Structure 1
Amino acid sequence: MLRRSLPVLGLALLLCAPASRAYAGSSQGEVVAVDQASRRVLVLRGAEEPADYQGPDRPPVVWSWGADRAEDLGDLDPADSWTNPDEAKSRILDGRRYLLTTASGGLAAVVDTATGGSRWAADLGRVANPHSIELLPDGNVVVVASGGGWVRLYAASQGRRATTHATFRLPGAHGVLRDGRTGLLWALGDGELTALRVGDDPAEPTLTAVRSAPLPDRGGHDLAPVLGAPGRFWVSTLNGLWQYDPAADRFTPVHLADPAAERKVKSIGDAPRTGRLLTVAPDHSGPCDWCASVIRLDRPEGTWTLGGTQLYKARWWESQ
């Protein structure tokens, strides 16, 4: 097993660092991680061969973004709304790569990685506790919020601060994913996985429930595509990991080399080419009880320790 750990970067360097810079592309093995310690989203090179981590502005970080110094988000009070960032995804729309991100403080944003500017952003409120986000082919945006207990489809195609939305109630909403094969939107809550149909008019968004599957365990958290089996989803719950097959309406348990690592998983996904699994779960090694400084790899097994970070989620960057 590969294990690496390095000291924390000095605070002075962290405070002087720019919030974002242009990022043109990605290569095999890159990982996107949301770090609550630096209040940054980090794109890291080389998870297949983990490199020494020396801070958010040093290799292997190839790109980073944070709302604190994003000039175009000043009206959304990122000092407060960007508290505890908790999601980071990559999506391609009209040939451009976007970072999708949320924070428990209320911020939800779609960020152009080529410019660092936001395509759409909103402050949804700390009470709502936004937890995940999805970008649709028409430019609209879906956000799920665990505190609010809802799934919202925003008419983001209509403007950078568009707030018109449709709402579907889902207690403990934590994960959201669009299935490109069917066009259905899947949302994960405390006790169920629900499929929603999106209306045809981007300017007047609607959500209609199509079907629902009760979870095999309580506390649904992460929802991601199984790249090695298109049409299936990774699902994490309080006590386990699962693959869900919508065609069979069946949850199949997923086992890691260390059974203890299957509990309270915040994010899970398989690499696009190798199928290697990547997970993040709390390691209780720092002041953040729900975070970790370790990215776990399975099939084959390994770990990547990023000293001084407080990671909430990490994903294969090119898989999204």
Structure 2
Amino acid sequence: AGAEPAAAAEYLVGTVEQATNDVLVFSHSNTTWSDGNVRWRWSAPSGSTWTNLSDLKRRPTAAWGDVVLVTASGTASAGGKAAMVDQSSKSVVWSATVPGNPHAVERIKDYGAIVVASSRARQYSGSFVDGGGLSIFIPSTNGGKPGTSYSGSVKYGFEGAHGVVYDTSTGLLLAVGKNELRAYRIVTNSTGRMTGLSLAARTTFSGTGHDLQPDYASNKFFYTVGGTGADAGVWEVSLVWAGSSWAFTGKRKISTRTYVKAYGSLPTGARFWVDAPSSSTWWTNTVGFSSGGNGYRSGAKFYKARYWTTAFV
């Protein structure tokens, strides 16, 4: 008799779901995303700064094991949140209040710095402060816990900043916002501690970039552009060393979907996305899959979806 066929690989997809303000994880092979099929759940604390979870990324750390990075948009008066959650205990091990509608978060491997992308200026503590950019919370020792004061963070203006990803293969931080996709070098001091960023490459487009994710089936990146202009849709691009500098190359539109809030891939090459129904509705109850069998949850308001992995790229 022949050997039994190998079981198909199962991949998990993490989501932020704003109806209940939870991070919910499901199998890509299960189309009914009911409570009974939730693989991991974390509920945001109460309070105005935790309103509307807006991003998640699963990352490895030496000090806390696997963590889940999250942001919440919050409110205009109170600001939003960025946090690091211990995946095992589900406790918040670090959080900071961040103005400007936080949309995305990343942790810089080895340095332990946490980068938050905020899309615009918002009222915070009675006055307007800089939003629309990247706020970097840098620990005093590499790999440690950063401070929680927004005023003590290192800030870089970037209008409409919506997405941020660290590329371990190049050591560059990528960010997307209004009209631009950028790559930054990590700047360190003489002791090897991170102190900031310097621009390494950029590519332009017309519109506001919404999501930015690596393609786990190649060495490319996906970014989405919102709206109905000529550049609206989903794009792929490569980041390469061009002899003397870094450059974005091979930019290509791969989908004309116009209100995509999240777009990612599995190692199999299957793609998945959160495609909002209109410019005024930023969530949906379904995560689409190119391989078929979309993930549906009754009453859900999915905003982001991520391949549930600790791999950066």
TM-score range, shorter chain: 0.7 to 0.9
Aligned to 2:275: 281
More helix by share: 1
Q: Which runs of 5 or more residues in structure 1 are unaligned? A: 1-26, 69-77
Aligned to 1:309: 300
Q: Map of 1:1-320 to 2, 5 A cutoff?
A: 28-44=10-26, 46-47=27-28, 49-54=29-34, 58-68=35-45, 78-94=46-62, 96-105=65-74, 106-125=80-99, 128-137=100-109, 138-147=111-120, 148-156=131-139, 157-159=143-145, 161-163=147-149, 164-201=152-189, 205-215=195-205, 217-230=206-219, 232-238=220-226, 239-247=232-240, 249-255=249-255, 259=256, 262-272=257-267, 274-283=268-277, 289-298=281-290, 300-318=291-309, 320=312
SS of the residue 1:209 aligns to: strand
User: Are the equivalent residues in 2 in contact too, given 1:178–1:186 (CA < 8 A)?
Assistant: yes
Following TM superposition, by how much is the alpha carbon of 1:165 offset from its aligned partner in structure 2, in angstroms? 2.0
RMSD: 2.0
- Alpha-carbon separation, structure 1, partners of 2:36 and 2:57: 20
- Alpha-carbon separation, structure 2, partners of 1:308 and 1:161: 37
User: Are the equivalent residues in 2 in contact too, given 1:149–1:169 (CA < 8 A)?
Assistant: yes
Following TM superposition, by how much is the alpha carbon of 1:30 offset from its aligned partner in structure 2, in angstroms? 1.0
Following TM superposition, by how much is the alpha carbon of 1:162 offset from its aligned partner in structure 2, in angstroms? 3.3
Q: Please report the TM-score for the alignment, with normalisation by the length of structure 2.
A: 0.79
User: Are the equivalent residues in 1 in contact too, given 2:13–2:308 (CA < 8 A)?
Assistant: yes
- Alpha-carbon separation, structure 2, partners of 1:124 and 1:246: 29
SS of the residue 1:295 aligns to: strand
Q: Which runs of 5 or more residues in structure 2 are unaligned? A: 1-8, 75-79, 121-130, 227-231, 241-247
Q: What is the aligned-residue identity percentage?
A: 29
Residue identity opposite 1:186 in structure 2: L
Residue identity opposite 1:63 in structure 2: W
CA displacement 1:194-221 (0-9 Å, x = unmatched)? 1111222576621211221112x41101
More strand by share: 2
Aligned length: 266
- Alpha-carbon separation, structure 2, partners of 1:168 and 1:205: 12
CA displacement 1:178-207 (0-9 Å, x = unmatched)? 111110111101100111112225766212
